[in-house]
A and B are shown apart, each in its own frame.
Chain A
């Protein structure tokens, strides 16, 4: 073997070892697990040693499981609630901050900071603010609205998911804002001077100069946002644990039981094969959504 090859692989060795064991192998191993079921005698910490081969039984069960399809609907609703609003809000913030203002870096920091804080902690704070007699309920009671008083925002089937979405949009908006702002700052001022000479309005300038440059960022945010919704777990774990309860096609479902949380729930019930199979449904779903995102944004320009 060539010396260069040998030295290259010795540099790659630590990375490839971890990558191989904990990222590449699991994708294949997970398929194997998804074809198995745990038995009644399973030991909690050696579960994987005495599982029984079950073929595609897990996949069939999931296909016929109303609760699973409901969880996918929750995922889609969560995507609709968080992604467009998040992109819109971060774009507005970037446009506002892109003008000559004092304290610009303070505002930028204030908007960005929540983005890197621990999701569990942020979720916990919002849960408290949303609770009955919490900050928001107290405010609404003061102005004479007692609609949220009985259950709080997270206990009401109509407001629970939007409430989580609002908390997460506020947490995440700073990320998109920074991306948009970087792109806006890269536009040469000469173009705007020319546009001013031509008498373009504020909207025309945005529409014809800035918007086209922001499109790749919109696509990027749509894809990362989709991924975040498919992996959404912590905010649901801490804020609602899938509640409140409602019915869907005659089955009892958790209104906010998003697929990521539902998968975790199956995992804690030591239905490992079932959870693994479900993650492949998620994978296919991820591919479809990414493709739609990509096509949709391509067509629009």
Chain B
């Protein structure tokens, strides 16, 4: 009995230790973000005197409306870019997934294998030519450049095709007997039944674009109106590399929304990410 309890104790110690280690960067970020000016580099977390000698909330408001680096605007831009991409991408993937699941058409298998092989191409291949296309379209510094290229989500089409195929044929037939066309089938059969998958895809695309730093960096010039949070943060670091408390405060604005989404919707996020790994 004693041995069993010792084992349990060690198990919990290991679990807790790793949880602390895994969340350490976040604790560190929040504590640093609340440091008084000039105190960030002192690795002191328990104040000598009253709490205000070490901590303050003013960094959070200061970075929001900084004259050169308005993080409030960067934040809104990130929300718009990631949100719009997520909705648009999920919509066009739903249409494509529906066609692959329910229709027969020439070149269907060929198209599908093209999509499969495109998934194996390392992303770096796309950087130069995609940038070239954006400059040819005159899309530098525009919302379109940030959104449109990432709306063709191959994984999304696979996921939706798979889940639409799982819907029993009898449901479609019953609706067709009642005279339902494609749009009604979509509205009353497909969308209600695949809505968890749609939510999963919206979330995953949102998270992906929330942190799509490289692309957002190259299609924006530093004076662009569409600078996003990560790009703003990178430029901020280039200019104020000593103001760690401000940088960490800005970083909080990138982390908090994700944490909130994760707390409430983690079931959908995790199920989406594990689809590719376990099922196939």
Contact = CB atoms under 8 A, between A and B. Distances in A.
B122 A227 contact: yes
B152 A23 contact: yes
* A interface, size bucket: 35 or more
Interface in A253-276: 259-260, 263-264, 267, 272, 275-276
A187 interface: no
B49 interface: no
A15 B278 contact: no
B229 interface: yes
Interface string B18-36: 1101110110110010000
A194 interface: no
A26 B278 contact: no
A220 B122 CA distance: 15
A63 B41 CA distance: 44
Given A11-B98, A101-B15, A33 B124 contact: no
A8 B11 contact: no
Contacts of A129: 25, 28
A8 B254 contact: no
B223 interface: no
Contacts of B182: 7, 11
Contact of B130 (A22, A47, A109, A126): A22
B213 A22 contact: no
B213 A118 contact: yes
Interface in A120-137: 120-122, 124-126, 128-129, 133-135
A107 B19 contact: yes
B128 interface: yes
B118 A18 contact: no
B105 to A, nearest CB: 4
A237 B231 CA distance: 12
Given A96-B15, A120-B230, A237-B234, A133 B41 contact: yes
Nearest to B261: A116
Contacts of B120: 286, 290
A33 B104 contact: no
Interface in B1-29: 11-12, 14-15, 18-19, 21-23, 25-26, 28-29
A33 B95 contact: no
A5 to B, nearest CB: 5
Contact of B273 (A124, A170, A178, A238): A178
Interface string B198-235: 00000000010011011000100000000001100110
Contact of A134 (B43, B93, B135, B218): B43
Contact of A109 (B104, B122, B266): B266
Nearest to B43: A138
Interface string B95-124: 110110001111010010011001011111
Interface in B21-79: 21-23, 25-26, 28-29, 32, 41, 43
Nearest to A186: B278
Contacts of B196: none
B251 interface: yes
A176 B124 CA distance: 23
Interface string B242-262: 001001100100110011001
A272 B99 CA distance: 38
A26 B211 contact: no
Contacts of B136: 48
Shortest 5 CB-CB contacts between residues of A and residues of B: A26-B129, A8-B103, A15-B96, A118-B211, A11-B99
Given A47-B132, A116-B258, 18 more contacts: A5-B105, A22-B152, A24-B114, A29-B129, A30-B125, A109-B263, A109-B266, A110-B19, A117-B255, A120-B213, A121-B29, A170-B21, A178-B273, A231-B123, A234-B214, A238-B234, A276-B129, A279-B124
